[in-house]
Chain A
Amino acid sequence: MAHVNPNPKPVPPQQETTKHPSAWVYHFTFGFLMIMLGVTVALYYLDLDRKTGITGVNLIVALLVAVSKATAVVLFFMNVKNGTRLTWLWAALGFIWALLMGGIFMDYESRAWVYHDGWQR
């Protein structure tokens, strides 16, 4: 059975080691997110696929913008930038997992479709 000291020694005040950025970092991040939103919508109306003649450019650029927005949210709003190594690991783990799921695509690419009787025929 654990022994509980009825008169614990006073512990000196500790400084929290997880740093929190100043409010300006949050305002700048918000401004960046709004600008990126404008860029996403503008690119849609510009239609880069048609302008460049390369299919998929629009999607790639839109996803890059989305990734930059998500990164800003994770680093600053979710404070991973000042987080501990373990927090970094867990934050990265989720996105590594999402990337691994993309590997399932290989299965669809490498196998033939098996058609069943139904609406698809």
Chain B
Amino acid sequence: MSLHALETVGVGDDGHEEHAHQTVSIQYENIEQQNESYIVGMWSFLVTEVMFFGALFLLYSLYRVLYFNAYLEAHQFLDVKWGTLNTMVLLVSSWSMVMAVYSGQKGRRKAVLVFLGITQICAAAFMGVKSIEYSKKFGEGLFPDARFNYAKALTMHHEESKASGNVHEPPSPRHVMAFKALEEAEKAPEVTLAAPTAMATLAGAPDKNQIKEAVPSAAWGTFEHEQNKARIFFSIYFTMTGLHGVHVLIGMLLMGALMYFYGSKHHCVEDYIPLELIGLYWHFVDIVWIFLFPLMYLIS
């Protein structure tokens, strides 16, 4: 007899419906104690996750206080419509996950598979929207690496906003001026650049001073200062949403494993607790996004 087969108890309190059966392991007195141990264990893990994301939220808040205007300007590159859609998708996934857990508690295997499938589709949709957003940011030069090009992004965004008649917050004149000055400098024959763009050179290459001299605008120094504040915003944005995305991917893997086990009627999912624990993890991922959405997308 295995350690996990000493005692089997039925769960549920109405006595009419089919319920999942749980097995009490030898080290526990009863099913109540066993379930509590599992759930508290999962919550302990989630507390470490709160610490992890909490530090990042602290970082976000600190720089938001210090560089509020830069945050206000930089956030307009994040599309509220995509953010809202992603929040809706995650909320639907949270509902379908809790319904999967509910079905698991009732012992309805097929319903578990259906609801886990819905959750998986929502998670994939979330990642799809995120990839669209990320690729747009890469294209605009907003990824905070050596190719970070804030002036170009501001000008492009302003032109797009003008064309669509949706000018939320236009870029400041000094940004547009700096970008135009940079374009002129790139065209000037006396400036030889090693890097493909002048902005890439400015981001840390040795020709930085040469470019500075060539740019015929006093606004450049100020712009560079502002650009670095926006770089901080995008560094935090990519770090936080990226780590959140990694959590979504891990959740998808875990749900995939659960679907496999439920599909193959594996004995490890006779007890619904693995499903409930992964459900707790998924709801935590949802909670992180609930805070990320207004803090990143809805700055005013």
Main SS of the interface on chain A? helix
A8: chain B residues at CB < 8 Å are 6-7
B-contact bits for A79-121, CB 8 A (1 contact / 0 none): 0000110110011011101100110110010000000000110
A5 to chain B, nearest CB (A): 10
Other-chain contact of A26, B9, B80, B95, B280 (Cβ < 8 Å): B95
B293: chain A residues at CB < 8 Å are 40, 66
Please judge, given known A-B contacts A70-B291, A97-B50, whether A41 and B298 are in contact too, CB under 8 Å: yes
B273 to chain A, nearest CB (A): 11
CA distance A20 to B57 in the complex (A): 33
CA distance A119 to B208 in the complex (A): 12
Quick one: closest B residue to A12, CB to CB?
Answer: B9
Quick one: closest A residue to B298, CB to CB?
Answer: A44
CA distance A37 to B102 in the complex (A): 24
Please judge, given known A-B contacts A78-B283, A84-B36, whether A98 and B50 are in contact too, CB under 8 Å: yes
Quick one: closest B residue to A68, CB to CB?
Answer: B290
In the complex, the answer to whether B290 meets A20 with C-beta atoms within 8 Å is no
Other-chain contact of A37, B6, B12, B87, B105 (Cβ < 8 Å): B87
Quick one: closest B residue to A78, CB to CB?
Answer: B283
In the complex, the answer to whether A86 meets B40 with C-beta atoms within 8 Å is yes
- B195: Cβ under 8 A from any A Cβ: no
Quick one: closest B residue to A90, CB to CB?
Answer: B43
CA distance A98 to B46 in the complex (A): 12
Please judge, given known A-B contacts A13-B10, A23-B102, whether A74 and B287 are in contact too, CB under 8 Å: yes
In the complex, the answer to whether B98 meets A70 with C-beta atoms within 8 Å is no
Please judge, given known A-B contacts A15-B13, A20-B105, A34-B88, whether A44 and B300 are in contact too, CB under 8 Å: yes
CA distance A23 to B43 in the complex (A): 23
- B11: Cβ under 8 A from any A Cβ: yes
Residues facing A in B39-94 (CB within 8 A) are: 39-40, 43-44, 46-47, 49-51, 54-55, 57-58, 61-62, 80, 84, 87-88, 91-92, 94
Main SS of the interface on chain B? helix
A116 to chain B, nearest CB (A): 14
A76: chain B residues at CB < 8 Å are 98
Please judge, given known A-B contacts A97-B54, A105-B62, whether A73 and B80 are in contact too, CB under 8 Å: no
Quick one: closest A residue to B224, CB to CB?
Answer: A119
Pick the most buried of A34, A43, A49, A78: most chain B CB atoms within 10 A of its CB.
A78
- B210: Cβ under 8 A from any A Cβ: no
B27-35, B150-158, B245-253, B256-264 - interface stretch: B27-35
In the complex, the answer to whether B51 meets A97 with C-beta atoms within 8 Å is yes
- B228: Cβ under 8 A from any A Cβ: yes
A11: chain B residues at CB < 8 Å are 7, 9
In the complex, the answer to whether B10 meets A37 with C-beta atoms within 8 Å is no
Please judge, given known A-B contacts A33-B91, A73-B94, whether A16 and B31 are in contact too, CB under 8 Å: yes
In the complex, the answer to whether A62 meets B94 with C-beta atoms within 8 Å is no
Other-chain contact of A94, B43, B225, B290 (Cβ < 8 Å): B43
In the complex, the answer to whether A63 meets B294 with C-beta atoms within 8 Å is yes
CA distance A41 to B58 in the complex (A): 23
A52 to chain B, nearest CB (A): 12
- B99: Cβ under 8 A from any A Cβ: yes
Give me 14 other A-B pairs in contact (C-beta within 8 A), A33-B95, A70-B290, A90-B47 excluded: A17-B32, A30-B92, A33-B91, A41-B84, A58-B300, A65-B294, A66-B294, A77-B94, A78-B283, A86-B36, A87-B39, A93-B47, A97-B50, A98-B54
Question: Can you list 7 pairs linking A and B with CB atoms under 8 Å apart?
Answer: A13-B10, A26-B102, A33-B91, A77-B283, A78-B283, A87-B39, A98-B50
Query: Shortest 9 CB-CB distances between A and B: which pairs?
Result: A94-B50, A90-B43, A30-B95, A94-B47, A62-B294, A44-B298, A16-B11, A98-B54, A77-B98
